Structure 1
């Protein structure tokens, strides 16, 4: 698509006007997604619509309509150009059904901030064959840019727009940002789609140049999500794949380039649910910069020095994810662990084991227990050429509320492993909890098949 044509199209389309549909207002019906299965089969014209939610109509969306034939400009009662605007863009919809999560995300945003929430309904163009849907995404972005242009006429600023795109919707947001030369305030990509985008030019996918601040949350980078960093900061949850509590389907790889079940795969949707959960602020979801997930798990990246100037980025609505460094980092990977269910937060525990020299390799399991919460386990393979082992594990409670630490020699029965002597075992939390350095136990002997247990005194 030629850029000159795009500019002409945008300029000629400034006649876009917005109005709450009269019939809807009279009948007090709430606007909803346009379920277009039948219309799509009949080959009717490509169309999108916009749903508006604010704190004044949080439970009943209003419909923004575009009508270039109507020269009477009427601004919807609920839209407030002096407030920030969150724009939600869904992704691929295999069967033409509406995304069930939109209401929950909109409500969470409105609970957290007094904003306008605009939901882009492009189900019409997002359904059926994935490759055909990808062909539509720039057209969707172009139409959205017309809407944004008109809203700036009413007093909104480009910096006041925060786009939130899910899967393919993240790339729609990115192209809107491209059309505005990166002047939008913020773009959040929730597991940006990978198929047909992993090798795409940055101008054709979400990229850090698309807004003043671009962030992405990756949860399925080995299948339906993109595996490369696409923002200023990219959060890779549990390494960006295989999320806790999600069972990997053996048929997933069949649909990599035609993801019929893309929106029901647990890993792919986890980014959305984690983001929604972060908005209630019940616990921080903090990422740590690292060159790889393996190094993160090896305890080599336990602070946010370097490009972040000691301030760790956090998932949520903090400005620039809480990053205070200037200039902003670019395409920085940050890693964090999460739990299997909301609010998904976990405390990062650094485990250091100093072992007396071994005659044979050994396997041990370390378990942390906090009353009333699920136990967390860490399995370690101890080799004969090492005496110090450092690993990172997640636990649902902070260090000072860990009641018990357990150790068990789990080597195979036929493999005659002798006793294991630990000179010390220390656990600490990062970022470091104020007044709580670490908990250590020294001089431990672990016999084969015998559970060792140590209770800690509560110090919170």
Structure 2
């Protein structure tokens, strides 16, 4: 299995060319990542790690982090301020000839949120070799970073002030740095920690909750390049941790973008979450299937009612002592800011003579429609499911249901006692939107419009053969 991963990464290395663009070329004075060449790869390159410093004074142009950044001897140098928190960004494995993407965007997003030091670790000279060789050497990279942390502590920094953000293999590098300091680093965020050669590794050899005072991980590709097991105090599994929305299209640019889309989504989502345009809230649950089945719609229990969120805060977690390897699930959209509103759909069906297939559609004007396909069984009457919708409950204009059973199956009418939709978590006490007594013929569509008037939602119109009663429900957007 390991050899198959090695061959995959070698293939990607051959597919990818240099990521240096005109914009980077025009900023020659800004520090930039090393770019390992094929000749260096064949000859073997001595391990070399360098660091870039971003502050609010140079958020758009990284400076090479040198001793001058500590002793403030040169006016043109961005200074490291030991009295401020420090974010350390560590990239992961890179195909030969490419440079890490998204690092400067993440640094800028962090600086918009808070006045701090942002150090970006450049270990390209070792990260671009064959994957198995990179894994063999990642601990040496972590040791070099640890030496820098010790030097910064002599200038006034504290271990608690360091927050490591590691992408893929960089998450395990960050974890081993934490191991060097006996888990006393302030925080580690693993962005889809690498899975190949780590899924069966001992906690000492990979990112683990013991590596910092607070460890979190965001999983987006656990069936391919990411790790599938929980590794932090809290682990966010986006869309079940695999197959991210929008990553199934072939028009993503290069073959590399297509293959790594799920894996890199963790970085994109985390960067987007820092802008606070919307919340990315996770729900604790034992499995993704149970979450989708509507069995985990609150944050009672392990989080005492506070749903954990992706972002700079400690995921909104206030429980003490911290939980360990707690899995939380959430759904996202295909594009930034990736936030989706979690809608719980509940329906009750009268007894059926035969199983049936239906399609339920949530419609908000100006947004993509949300379609749900559901098989109704003879021995089951009540159904629940969680879906992602781009708009709030109070902005859903209509719900449509269609009996999609095959014609030759001779499926008859379907009688619904009710269909209800509500937004979770139900923290604002909003009543669900419900319609009752619905009859749908075979192949015949049914729809219900919701008219929003002065903060009140009203069941307005039906196209079903059996008219249902009007209702009122207080909805505050």
TM-score by length of 1: 0.88
Corresponding position of 2:206: 205
Is the Cα–Cα contact under 8 Å of residues 284 and 299 in structure 2 kept in the other structure?
A: yes
Gaps of 5+ in 2: 1-26, 457-476
Is the Cα–Cα contact under 8 Å of residues 243 and 340 in structure 1 kept in the other structure?
A: yes
Is the Cα–Cα contact under 8 Å of residues 193 and 227 in structure 2 kept in the other structure?
A: yes
Corresponding position of 1:35: 35
In 2 relative to 1, CA 28–229 (structure 1 residues): closer, same or farther, beyond 3 Å?
Answer: closer
Q: Secondary structure at the match of 2:200?
A: coil
1:295 corresponds, among 286, 290, 293, to: 290
Q: Secondary structure at the match of 1:456?
A: strand
Query: Could you tell me how far apart the structure 2 residues matched to 1:358 and 1:328 are?
Result: 48
Q: Secondary structure at the match of 2:137?
A: helix
2:330 corresponds, among 326, 336, 346, to: 336
Deviating runs (4+, > 3 A) in structure 1? Answer: 38-42, 72-77, 260-264
Query: Could you tell me how far apart the structure 1 residues matched to 2:249 and 2:195 are?
Result: 17
Is the Cα–Cα contact under 8 Å of residues 93 and 263 in structure 1 kept in the other structure?
A: no
Q: Secondary structure at the match of 1:135?
A: helix
Deviations 1:171-197 (A, max 9, x none): 000000000100000000000000000
Corresponding position of 1:313: 308
Matched, 1:148 2:143: no
1:267 corresponds, among 248, 262, 267, to: 262
Q: How do 1:44-59 residues align onto structure 2 when only pairs under 5 Å count? A: 44-59=45-60
Larger CA deviation: 213-222 vs 426-435? 426-435
In 2 relative to 1, CA 32–264 (structure 1 residues): closer, same or farther, beyond 3 Å?
Answer: farther
Q: Secondary structure at the match of 2:88?
A: strand
Query: Could you tell me how far apart the structure 2 residues matched to 1:229 and 1:96 are?
Result: 32
Query: Could you tell me how far apart the structure 2 residues matched to 1:181 and 1:207 are?
Result: 12
Larger CA deviation: 115-124 vs 434-443? 434-443
Matched, 1:450 2:451: no
Query: Could you tell me how far apart the structure 1 residues matched to 2:28 and 2:360 are?
Result: 59
Matched, 1:416 2:410: yes
1:115, CA displacement in angstroms?
1.0
Corresponding position of 1:405: 399
In 2 relative to 1, CA 137–397 (structure 1 residues): closer, same or farther, beyond 3 Å?
Answer: same
1:282 corresponds, among 277, 280, 294, to: 277
1:368 corresponds, among 341, 362, 366, to: 362
Deviations 1:112-142 (A, max 9, x none): 1111110000011001311011011100000
Number of residue pairs matched by the alignment: 419
Deviations 1:327-355 (A, max 9, x none): 11110000001111111111111111100
1:434, CA displacement in angstroms?
2.3
Is the Cα–Cα contact under 8 Å of residues 162 and 186 in structure 1 kept in the other structure?
A: yes
1:262, CA displacement in angstroms?
8.7
Gaps of 5+ in 1: 1-26, 250-259
Query: Could you tell me how far apart the structure 1 residues matched to 2:441 and 2:120 are?
Result: 60
Q: How do 1:319-398 residues align onto structure 2 when only pairs under 5 Å count? A: 320-398=314-392
1:42, CA displacement in angstroms?
3.7
Deviations 1:226-279 (A, max 9, x none): 000000000000111111111189xxxxxxxxxx95995111111111111101
TM-score by length of 2: 0.85
Corresponding position of 1:115: 116
Larger CA deviation: 111-120 vs 428-437? 428-437
Matched, 1:98 2:127: no
1:391, CA displacement in angstroms?
0.7
1:30, CA displacement in angstroms?
1.3
Q: Secondary structure at the match of 1:272?
A: helix
Deviations 1:35-58 (A, max 9, x none): 121434443321010000000111
Larger CA deviation: 42-51 vs 436-445? 42-51
